[in-house]
Structure 1
Amino acid sequence: MSTHRTPDRPDENPWFFSTRELARRPGNQRTVTRTVPAPSGDKAIGLVGVIAVPDGSDVDIDLSLESVTEGVYVSGTASARLEGECSRCLDPISDDVEARIGELFAYPDSATEETTDADEIPRLVDDRIDLTQTVRDAIVIDLPMAPLCTPDCPGLCTECGTRWADLPSDHGHETLDPRWAALKERLPSTD
């Protein structure tokens, strides 16, 4: 087993991992530990504008690549820092995420490649695997659709937009129909 901390070639995409040394021999294995920059645009990790791994921030990958009969099985973890905003009060939030990865990358001309669609099982191309989509899928599946700063966040006042947590307990916005205003003046106050 060997450990690599940098891409196999300096000009190579850091999300690509070589499987050449596994030599298509089932049982051959190598471990890989690498820190890569988070992708941006349509490959961004997360729900952009809600909660996501910031573009270019570190994604730590710790993997085992194992040659199996039909391809290379990749297992391990990917971890990163998430940033976003609370879906109730809109305060900024951040959190750490660690996702488990377990994915088979099919060899060209294998039975798996011939019997599955490319969107079902990823493929090896030129003895390399691209982990961008695999890591993205593993992290995104664990993200909350409505992230909260605290589980009991009260959110914002619908009338003035101020955070309920910052308002006094007697805060309210009484709206009185102008047709009843004259009647209110004639009734005794209940304060």
Structure 2
Amino acid sequence: MVPREPFVLDVRRLGRRAGTMTEVHRTLVSPERLGVEMVGIPAGSDVDLDLRLESVSEGVLVTGTVSGETAGQCSRCLDPVDGTVTVFLTELFAYPDSATEQTTDSDEVHRIVDEKLDLEQSIIDAVSLELPMSPLCTTDCPGLCQVCGVRLAAAEPGHGHDIIDPRWAGLADKFATLDETPPADGPDGREPA
């Protein structure tokens, strides 16, 4: 994966002496949407980093918070939903040729490449885990009418539809024709004498 500049941090000035630390306070612009299907941090939005980079014996330990404004839609009524997401990162980026780098599979630990670490995947993972898979505009959102699609929160009280089960539709048609047929009886509804 080619690192994206906004998420790449240069750690040359940090050095490799264990205990050396630096703080990073930066606002980045997200090059693409970060999140889950229904809600996320939109592309072109600000992402705030408040991180501490600490040199440890096996690499650089990154801890801190990442936050941004979210936008999406309610999973029940499809109305717009916005908010803020704040995630906490704790990630170890292994030095090249360290014991951690040599003994750990490539997908189990992040690595420092050319004295730079790429936070992109860590941020994507953390934001995706923090956001709800089914966001709601309100906790009691009633959703949409299954028949006509109107938002039930905005519909008149008692909104509903008389729906006849298709298996009984033929019988309903028979009753409708009986109601339309004039009675063969006399004017008072009794048989003529």
Q: TM-score, normalized by length of structure 1?
A: 0.85
Match of 1:174 among 162, 166, 173: 162
1:31 is matched by which residue type in structure 2? E
Q: Which residue of 1 aligns with 2:20?
A: 28
Match of 1:65 among 46, 53, 67: 53
What RMSD, in angstroms, separates the aligned Cα atoms of the two structures?
1.5
The range that moved more, 114-123 or 177-186, is 177-186
Q: Which residue of 2 aligns with 1:13?
A: 5
Which 5+ residue runs of structure 1 have no aligned equivalent? 1-11, 187-191
Aligned length: 171
1:47 is matched by which residue type in structure 2? V
Structure 2 residue 100 is matched with structure 1 residue 112 = yes
Q: Which residue of 2 aligns with 1:146?
A: 134
Q: Which residue of 1 aligns with 2:65?
A: 77
**Bigger-Rg structure (1/2):** 2
Q: TM-score, normalized by length of structure 2?
A: 0.84
Partner of 2:6, secondary structure, is coil
Distance (whole Å) between structure 1 residues aligned to residue 31 and residue 128 of structure 2: 13
Q: Which residue of 2 aligns with 1:156?
A: 144
Q: Taking every aligned residue pair, what percent have the same amino acid on both sides?
A: 49
The C-alpha deviation readout for 1:106-143, integer Å capped at 9, x for no partner, is 00000100111121111001111111111111111111
2:7 is matched by which residue type in structure 1? W
Runs of 4+ deviating beyond 3 Å: 181-186
Q: Which residue of 1 aligns with 2:77?
A: 89
Match of 1:45 among 25, 30, 34: 34
